[in-house]
């Protein structure tokens, strides 16, 4: 009987602590990047968001590929951070 309680307690702790959250990658479409220095601004804005681990912004593709912890940040917040920096973004793809 103790083992059942232990398993239930472990499962509850795992669910409440975000143990099933993970690293995600999202590609943001950022059509407002009009020069070679724009990706620098977009990258800086996204890197300031808690949970973002890596950003690769491309002027040529007009996109930003963001690796982030989905227990700390959502793709909506990533788009908002880019928009607040002057570069509205929409989610192109997410993994």
Burial call 19-58: b when 16+ CB within 10 Å, e when fewer? eeeeebebbbbbeebeeeebbeebbebbeebebbeebebe
Mean pLDDT rounded to a whole number for the chain: 85
Q: Which helix (H) or strand (E) holds 42?
A: helix 38-47
pLDDT band at 20 (very low <50, low <70, confident <90, very high): low
Residue 19: predicted pLDDT: 52
Burial (CB count within 10 angstroms: exposed 0-12, middle 13-18, buried 19+), residue 88: middle
Domains and CATH numbers, the chain: 21-94 (3.30.70.100)
**Residue found by looking up tokens 């996204």 in the block:** 46
Q: Cβ distance 30 to 87 under 8 Å?
A: yes
Report pTM: 0.76
Per residue in 42-72, pLDDT (tens digit) is 999 999 999 999 999 999 999 999 999 999 9
């Amino acid at each position: 009987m103790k083992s059942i309680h232990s398993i239930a307690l472990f499962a509850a702790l795992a669910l409440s602590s975000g143990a099933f959250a993970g690293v995600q990658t999202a590609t943001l479409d950022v059509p407002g990047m009009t020069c070679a220095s724009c990706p620098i601004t977009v990258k800086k804005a996204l890197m300031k968001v808690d949970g973002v681990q890596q950003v690769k912004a491309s002027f040529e593709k007009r996109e930003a590929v963001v690796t982030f912890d989905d227990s700390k940040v959502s793709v909506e917040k990533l788009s908002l951070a880019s928009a607040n920096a002057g570069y509205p973004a929409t989610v192109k793809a997410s993994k």
